[in-house]
């Protein structure tokens, strides 16, 4: 995407979220469910202990596995609750499409549209450093549209 004021192409690193909420393969699906519902996110990368990207999970992936095997637990006060026994590793998409921080934002948008995916993990030197989502792309589009509109109005007079 070209920024009208600067005349340069927007890079993924300018739009990506750097503080990424992530999980490990051994986290429980219950934690994933909590993140989707209370952190208001739709994509969670799965990483190794070294920060290497192993997979990604979307809220749609989770919806496909609802009704997973569960285990009945009992609290000290005698009340019972249900706990999912399924781990993130059984739900995540392995080898997700990724993009580098120096890639053009337009290339990220094109890849997401072509593959019908809502997010791309941003990887540098084998490590997850961010995530760019369709929402990030839409925000950039709105910002650029607001820059173009005043330019169009003044040039048409």
> DSSP string covering 3-21, please?
ETTTTEEPBHHHHSBSS--
Residue 134: φ, ψ to 5° = -60, -30
Global confidence as pTM: 0.76
Q: Which residue has the tokens 């760019």?
A: 132
pLDDT band at 133 (very low <50, low <70, confident <90, very high): very high
Contact criterion met (CB below 8 Å) for 129 and 121:
no
Domains of the chain, by residue range, sit at 2-155
2-155: CATH homologous superfamily?
CBS-domain (3.10.580.10)
Secondary structure letter of residue 90 according to DSSP: G
Q: CA-CA distance, 130 to 124, in Å (whole number)? A: 9
pLDDT (tens digit per residue) in 135-149? 999 999 888 877 766
């Amino acid at each position: 995407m070209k920024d009208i004021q600067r005349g340069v192409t927007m890079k993924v690193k300018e739009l990506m979220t750097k503080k990424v909420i992530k999980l490990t393969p051994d986290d429980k699906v219950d934690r994933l469910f909590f993140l989707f519902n209370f952190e208001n996110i739709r994509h969670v990368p799965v990483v190794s202990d070294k920060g290497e990207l192993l997979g990604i999970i979307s809220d749609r992936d989770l919806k496909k596995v609802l009704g997973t095997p569960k285990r009945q637990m009992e609290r000290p006060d005698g009340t019972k609750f249900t706990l999912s026994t399924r781990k993130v590793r059984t739900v995540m998409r392995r080898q997700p499409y990724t993009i580098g921080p120096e890639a053009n934002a337009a290339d990220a948008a094109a890849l997401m549209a072509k593959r019908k995916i809502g997010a791309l993990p941003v990887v540098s030197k084998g490590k997850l450093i961010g995530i760019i989502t369709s929402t990030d792309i839409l925000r950039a589009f709105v910002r650029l549209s607001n820059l173009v509109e005043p330019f169009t109005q003044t040039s048409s007079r």
